[in-house]
Chains A and B, each alone.
Chain A
Amino acid sequence: MTVAAVNQTIREPTDIRFNGVTKTFGSVTALDNVTVSFAPNKINVLLGLSGSGKSTMLRHINGLHTPSTGEVWTLGTPVHSGGSTALRRLRNDVGMIFQQFHLVESSSVLENVCTGQLGSLRGPRFGLWSYPRSVREAAMEQLARVGLADKAFQRAGSLSGGQQQRVAIARALIQRPTVLLADEPVASLDPVSSAGVIELLTQISREENLTVICSLHQVQIALAFADRIVGLNAGRVVLDRSAAGMTHDDVDGIYLAEPVDQRLAMAI
């Protein structure tokens, strides 16, 4: 492939691609020369120990972090060199949910969902009534979609963990994103709520044809949920393959202390 052809594929508007990305925080190397691309319109799951670089990787996709060296292309936007306006426009197309939900607990559920629209609204907002009626209606529709229309006017902090994560999903959906990033979305939830949230994520990503990139701890859930699995160890990609037919044993290599054993190197 010629350089021009490579650039052509990089600029593909549905593409998410890391090109030799290294990220250091002080003396800690969080990502170490990572080159990887994610499958569009599929569920990509990141596996790896805590501190292996999963969260750092996700935050590079929407430019919450920028690489120390290397290139990150998301939906045709160069994240590594993007100005704040370009990044904000990109983030409007990329939804994100978090382990700790990150809702404003003292605000109402509906207002929290409305904050998902801030990327396409101008000026500061404070309070539910500062959002246009159309935004509030859209927020209500998304809440109904995640099954929480009846909780719209409660304080977000009064909801259970599983419900709060559903509100966070509604907040991401109101952006009408093409990509959804999920940083350990079920790590703070009990097994029943986890299953509910994963089911909801699967259903929504199929309906909306989303590109999902989700970091997970639980291998079992990952194998059932993922179309593709990317394994990280100490900031390096040690596994990258389709999840179809994968077993628990195939995944175990990711967690070995020494990254890249012979078998995995072959697999890559």
Chain B
Amino acid sequence: MAVVHELRRPTPTRTPIPPRPRPSKNRIAAWSTLIALLLAGMWSVADLDINIASMVQSLDNAANFASRAFPLDFPPLAELLVMTGQTLAIVVVATVLAVILSVPVAIFAASNTTSGPLMHGTARTIIVLSRAVPDLILAIIFFRLFGLGALPGILALGLHSIGMVGKLYADAIEELDGGPAEAVRATGGSRVQWITSTVIPQLMPQLIATALHRFDINLRTSVLLGYVGVGGIGLELANSLRTMQYQRGMALALIILLLCIVVEMLSGVVRSRLLGRVPARRGGALGFMDRVAAGWVTAPRGGRELQRTRGGRIRIEPQWDSDRIRRFAGVGLTVVVVALATVYADLNFSTLFEDLLKVPQVLGAFLPPSPQDLLGTLLESMLVTIQIGLAATLLGLVLALPIGILAARNVAPNARVANFFRTVIVIVRGLPELILAIVFIVITGLGPIPGTLALAIGSVGLLGKLVADSLEETDVRVQDAVRATGATRSQVFYAATFRQAAPQFIAHVLYQLDVNIRSATLLGIVGAGGIGFYLVNASRVLQFDVVAFIIVMVLVTVLAVEAVAVWTRRALR
């Protein structure tokens, strides 16, 4: 009985509480970095004089802006079509070039298709470097090398795109199912054969979707490159703003805005179809057309036996059904567009060889990098560029956090609110930062404030989307578990939803900072403050040693920011 008694009433023994593990040095350093960045962001906002008072002040300017910008002065239609065509031609050829160069780079950069550590390292270096060197800088160098024409712009956009396109392709290749490749290896296929027969076909949807995405980005950048002489609508915009023709400039800005939105919508439709996210069945007349189009030519179903042609040979061609016709039309249209763009871009290769012979001489003009007597000014404006990036990210975060949270379907009070804020995000994403910057410049005058505001609003588009996406990707079961304990809505949000998404938030904000500092160097050329202004000036007065010095400064900054961002993300994972 005593034993039973003992069992029923065990003496309460205390489970010893293990000592709280001390956070690792890396984590402490990473959190310190984040806090330092936050403080730096706050300091930048204060130092750049971005506050309510100056906003109110500029409201007067807004009224002035209206009187200066209206009525809009549109160029004649024929002229408009010519410059739009020029822009589109350059962007199409540049994007095709980027894809053609990125595929081999990505194959060597992906760990499952690379040929060895040497090529892997080389390909990864090409990707990092081509992303680090801004297209603007490439354009300046290529203009020096090849003279005026479409070629410098195409090369600048195309080569810089490898950084993003190559990386996305490499990531996509690494995620592919390796089974088919093994099957082809097992039939005796060589490396080249299994790559072209299994990797490329599997990559195809991603390949086209990424190319279209990059096309959107290149279109925006090509307008910016107008400031250094890349032809098309951007050049006209730069010229009219430089000569203070604001009515013409704002008209062109409006057209660029519409062009960007139309292109983004088109590529969005194609992308979602390619990636298998077919839109829901449409109703009414459109739905009727869809259904007719889907089955307007159907191939007769062959039997299980061999089908023979009238000549008695085995039939190995598919029938022409509507699917195949549509596919051929799509491929044909793409080929025609690319061919037209190549012709229209009017590439002149006749002097290419001579130009390439000039490379040492041109490089000589850039070397050695020297600030001349501008060292103080250059360092100061580089600092301003970094401040713009920091301040824009902080302001963007303040705006994007509530918008992103309300856009997440699993957090927003109801579906209508979520849809509304999703739409807000999509619209903001459609606005080219350059156009925002120009509008703010016309309102507030030249300086870092318009640049910061433009980038801050631009950040809302990307950061808001990333915040909403990472909230929607959280594990619902954890939220259910917390809700089951009787927690309130806001308790569920903080304890389950936000807690799960927090590491991703930090990663996204660091990525946004990286992007904003890169963009800040570029926006300087339109007069939005920072180093870009001096970059374009120096190239205009042919001080190429100064250009080279600025390039080095920008490269060091961009690579350092990226390194900090990557390291912090890893340390907090």
Give the residues in chain A near B193, CB-CB below 8 Å: 118, 121, 123-125
8 Å CB contact of A104 from B187, B202, B314? B202
Which of these, B177, B185, B187, B315, contacts A171 with CB under 8 Å?
B187
- B186, B189, B205, B318: the one within 8 Å of A94 (CB): B186
Q: How far is the CB of B190 from chain A (nearest CB, A)?
A: 7
Question: Which of the 9-residue segments B230-238, B298-306, B549-557 touches chain A?
Answer: B298-306
Q: Evaluate contact between B197 and A144: CB separation under 8 angstroms.
A: no
Tally A-B pairs: CB < 8 A.
Answer: 123
Give A175 to B184 CA distance when docked, in angstroms: 11
Contact B187 A98 (CB under 8 A): no
- A137 at the A/B interface (Cβ < 8 Å)? yes
Please report the C-alpha to C-alpha distance between residue A125 and residue B189 in the assembled complex, in whole angstroms.
10
Nearest-CB residue, chain A, relative to B299 = A153
In the bound assembly, the distance between CA atoms of A29 and B10 in angstroms comes to 48
A110-B313 Cα distance, complex, nearest whole Å: 16
B187 pairs with A95, CB closer than 8 A:
yes
- CB neighbours (8 Å) of A64 from chain B are 182, 185-186
Give bound CA distance, A131 to B305, whole Å. 22
A119 / chain B contacts, CB cutoff of 8 Å:
187-189
A124 and B192 contact, CB distance less than 8 A: yes
- Could you tell me if A149 and B307 are in contact, using CB atoms closer than 8 angstroms? yes
A21 in the interface (beta carbon within 8 A): no
Check if B305 sits within 8 Å of A140, measured CB to CB.
Answer: no
Q: A95 vs B186: C-alpha distance in the bound complex, in angstroms?
A: 7
Counting CB contacts under 8 A, is A62 at the interface? Answer: yes
**Is A150 an interface position by the 8 A CB rule?**
yes
Number of B interface residues in the complex (CB < 8 A): 38
Complex: chain B residue closest to A135, CB-CB: B316
B200 located at the interface, meaning its Cβ lies under 8 Å from any Cβ of chain A in the complex: yes
Q: Is B447 an interface residue (CB 8 A)?
A: no
- For A148, what are the chain B residues with a Cβ–Cβ distance below 8 Å? 304
Within the assembled complex, what's the spacing in Å between the Cα atoms of A19 and B190? 28
Interface size on A, residues (CB 8 A): 51
**Contact assessment for B188 and A120 in the assembled complex, using a CB-CB cutoff below 8 Å:** yes
Task: Report whether B313 and A98 are in contact in the complex, using a CB–CB cutoff of 8 Å.
Answer: no
Closest to B190 in A: A88
Give a binary string over B475-518; 1 marks a CB under 8 Å from any A CB, 0 the rest: 00000000000000000000000000000000000000000000
User: A103 vs B316: C-alpha distance in the bound complex, in angstroms?
Assistant: 20
Q: In the assembled complex, how far is the CB of residue A127 from the closest CB belonging to chain B, in whole angstroms?
A: 8
Q: A96, B183: Cβ atoms under 8 Å?
A: yes
| Chain A residues with CB under 8 A of B314 | 137, 140-141
Q: Tell which of A62, A140, A150 touches B186, judged by Cβ atoms closer than 8 Å.
A: A62
- One of B200, B301, B304 near A147 (C-beta < 8 A): B304
Contact B306 A144 (CB under 8 A): yes
In the assembled complex, B196 has its CB within 8 A of some CB on chain A: yes
Cα–Cα distance between A115 and B299 once the two chains are bound (Å): 25
B205: A residues at CB distance < 8 A: 106
CB of A233 closer than 8 Å to a CB of B: no
- Residue on A with the closest CB to B321? A153
- What chain A residues lie within 8 Å of B192 (beta carbons)? 123-124
**A171–B197 contact, CB under 8 A?**
no
List the B side residues contacting A150 at CB < 8 Å: 301-304
Residues A102 and B185 in contact in the complex (CB < 8 Å), given A124-B196, A126-B196: no
* In contact, A91 and B187 (Cβ under 8 angstroms): yes
Report chain A residues within 8 Å CB of B307.
149
**A125 and B197 contact, CB distance less than 8 A:** yes
A105 to B192, CA, bound (A): 20
| Chain A residues in 8 Å Cβ range of B195 | 124
Please determine whether B316 and A110 come into contact, CB atoms closer than 8 angstroms. yes
Of the residues A96, A124, A149, contact of B303 by C-beta under 8 Å: A149
| Bound complex: CA A64 to CA B182 (Å) | 8
Is there an interface contact between B316 and A102, defined as CB atoms closer than 8 Å? no
| Residue of B177, B189, B304 ringed by the most chain A CB atoms within 10 A | B189
Contact of B185 among A91, A95, A104, A117 (CB under 8 A): A91
In A81-105, the 8 Å CB interface with B consists of 87-92, 94-96, 98, 100-105
Question: Is A91 a contact of B180 with CB atoms below 8 Å?
Answer: no
Return B197 CB to nearest CB of chain A, in Å: 5
- Residue B198 interfacial (CB < 8 Å): yes
Distance A148 CA – B314 CA, assembled complex (angstroms): 15
Interface core residue of B196, B202, B204 (most chain A CB under 10 Å): B196
Asked if B376 is at the interface of the complex by the 8 Å CB criterion, the answer is: no
> By the criterion CB–CB under 8 Å, are A118 and B188 in contact?
yes
- Residues on B with beta carbons closer than 8 Å to the beta carbon of A172: 187
Q: Please determine whether B179 and A102 come into contact, CB atoms closer than 8 angstroms.
A: yes
Given contacts A92-B188, A96-B183, A118-B187, contact A149 B196 (CB under 8 A): no
Contacts A64-B186, A88-B190; A133 near B316 (Cβ below 8 A):
yes
Q: Do residues B305 and A126 form an inter-chain contact, with CB atoms below 8 A? A: no
Q: B498 → chain A, closest Cβ, in Å? A: 38
Q: How far is the CB of B104 from chain A (nearest CB, A)?
A: 12
CB of A168 within 8 A of chain B? yes
B279-310, CB < 8 A from A: 299, 301-307
In the assembly, what is the distance between CA of A224 and CA of B18, in Å? 59
Please name all residues of chain A whose beta carbon is closer than 8 Å to the beta carbon of B302 when the two chains form the complex: 149-150, 152
- Taking the closest CB of chain B, its distance from the CB of A148, in whole angstroms, is 7
Instruction: Tell me the minimal C-beta distance from A119 to chain B in angstroms.
Output: 2
Which of chain B's residues has its CB closest to A126's CB? Answer: B196
Q: How far is the CA of A103 from the CA of B184 in the complex (A)?
A: 9
Residues of chain B with a CB closer than 8 A to A91's CB? 185-188
B105-140 contact mask (Cβ, 8 Å, vs A): 1 or 0: 000000000000000000000000000000000000
Complex Cα gap A98–B197 (Å): 18
Most A CB contacts (10 A, CB to CB) among B190, B192, B204 go to B190
* A92 close to B187 (CB less than 8 A): yes
A224 CB to nearest chain B CB (Å)? 26
Contact present for B306 and A106 (CB under 8 Å) = no
User: 18 A-B contacts, Cβ less than 8 Å apart?
Assistant: A91-B187, A100-B179, A102-B182, A103-B180, A104-B197, A104-B201, A106-B205, A107-B201, A115-B187, A115-B197, A118-B189, A124-B195, A125-B193, A126-B201, A139-B316, A144-B305, A148-B304, A153-B319
Given contacts A118-B194, A133-B316, A153-B318, 7 further A-B contacts (CB under 8 A): A64-B186, A95-B187, A106-B205, A140-B306, A140-B316, A172-B187, A175-B187
